Structure 1
Amino acid sequence: MGKGRLGWDEYAVAWARLHGGFDPREAGPLVRGWLRISYAIGSGLARVGIPPSGVTFAGLVFSVSVPVLADRPTIAAVFVLLAAIADSADGATAVVSGRATRIGYVYDSVADRLGEAAWLVAFWLVGAPAMLVVVAAGLSWLHEYVRARVTAAGMRDIGVVTVAERPTRVSVAFVGLLIAGVAGAVQPDLPAGTITVVTAVWLLLAFVGLLQLLAAFHRALR
């Protein structure tokens, strides 16, 4: 097939090569459905000639807009969702168009971390305690750092998908800001308490996920 016209099965094989051999056709219904949507969007973007880097940059812009919109949490939640869609679509665009590169992978990872930092800044602006936000951010960063170091050490697959992976953080940010916005419509002082609970959930998941990752790493070493 021509550029931007890679079929789903061919795309799935190429995607699996870039994700530790995990075949998206064998994923659960939600994950498979999300990846099919990403594939459809990526195919369309590749067909009109939009480069993966442009999609990555758009996703970062969406993420940076989230704290700017912190006084309207419901709208901010929509921008988290848009950023997540762009984050999936940039990889799909790269695979479909045959433009997946190592430098693109690095930029995408950096954009993800900056985007998540922006979402947590929004949590703080809505009313979450600064220290809680900082610890949540630190644990999420440590989760990704440990995974990166394990990979750099030559262990391509340590056999674990933790409770604190990127899709979880997207879900917590989107649902948390959405609930905070709804709570604010009921009573003006509710968003701060709501987003504090959401930040605590983020922190707890990040902590548990880090423990899962370390445990899997030690099992793999043995």
Structure 2
Amino acid sequence: MVGRQLNWDQYASAWARLHGGFDPRSAAPPVRAWLRLAYHGGYVLGRLRVTPTAVTVVGVLLCFGVPLVAIRPQDGPFLGALLVLLASVADSLDGAVAVASNRTTRLGYVYDSVADRLGEAAWLVAFWLLGAPGALVAAGGALSWLHEYVRARATSAGMREIGAVTVGERPTRVVVALVGLLLAGLTGLIEPDLAAGTITMASAVWALLAGFGLGQLLAAVRGALINAS
């Protein structure tokens, strides 16, 4: 349901309720600045009657474009990095539009989660096309998926908080994809064969952080559910 536009404090309180009680007003300065910027963007789009679903669809389409442009000679990885950046902005804005304009729905939350997983899969396909081993790419994707699956199941089982903010969260994946593509582009300009090695290293970093983050989350979930029982 469309409602009145929320101010920053109202938005922050609503955002916290939707994210396991994590209050953006108490976040680290860079995170707080990013979320406040998303709020202002969401506020403007809400006033323009842009729907959260429309922003989500745009974000997914941008992600699907990453593997299509990443394989272009010379500038492909740079274009892929640009699309990752734009998609991450859209990912922040769709939720911001929903919260700022009081249009949050449970179905929208599901759509957003599915869109995130599809987008990350597209980024990893770009890694594979640029030369990263398929097994390594698949491992990174599986570990990231498990991270989100475990949190969702733990919440269904009675965990009231997010469990833990791990090193393998969605923002980490965005950074690894963005930096990995940029570095692959730069090394590819020096020597084309170096791009594959660079993107392989980025894939390894993705998988390692996803694995470590999953371990952190499992430990937090165990503690939360034991205490809740």
- Which TM-score applies when normalising by structure 1? 0.96
Q: Which runs of 5+ in 1 are unaligned?
A: none
What displacement does 1:180 show? Answer: 0.6
Paired residues, number: 221
DSSP 3-state at the match of 2:164: coil
Q: Counterpart of 1:128?
A: 132
What displacement does 1:159 show? Answer: 3.7
Q: Alpha-carbon deviations, 1:185-216, whole Å to 9, x = none? A: 11111110000000000000011011101111
Measured on the aligned residues, the alpha-carbon RMSD in Å equals 1.3
Q: Alpha-carbon deviations, 1:91-119, whole Å to 9, x = none? A: 00001111100000000000000000000
Output the CA distance in 2 between the equivalents of 1:101 and 1:134: 32
Aligned positions of 1:62-77 closer than 5 A: 62-71=62-71, 72-77=76-81
Output the CA distance in 2 between the equivalents of 1:164 and 1:189: 29
Output the CA distance in 1 between the equivalents of 2:108 and 2:86: 20
1:195 corresponds to which letter in structure 2? I
Q: Which runs of 5+ in 2 are unaligned?
A: none
What displacement does 1:158 show? Answer: 5.4
2:85 maps to 1:89? no
Q: Alpha-carbon deviations, 1:134-158, whole Å to 9, x = none? A: 1111111111111110011111215
Output the CA distance in 1 between the equivalents of 2:164 and 2:205: 21
DSSP 3-state at the match of 1:69: helix
- Structure 1 vs Structure 2: percent identity of aligned residues? 62
1:212 corresponds to which letter in structure 2? Q
- Which TM-score applies when normalising by structure 2? 0.94
Q: Counterpart of 1:199?
A: 203
What displacement does 1:5 show? Answer: 3.6
Structure 1 residues 49 and 215: CA distance shift in structure 2, 3 A: same
Output the CA distance in 1 between the equivalents of 2:16 and 2:219: 25
2:7 maps to 1:7? yes
Moved more, 208-217 or 151-160: 151-160
DSSP 3-state at the match of 2:70: coil
2:157 maps to 1:157? no
Output the CA distance in 2 between the equivalents of 1:3 and 1:187: 55
Structure 1 residues 158 and 114: CA distance shift in structure 2, 3 A: closer
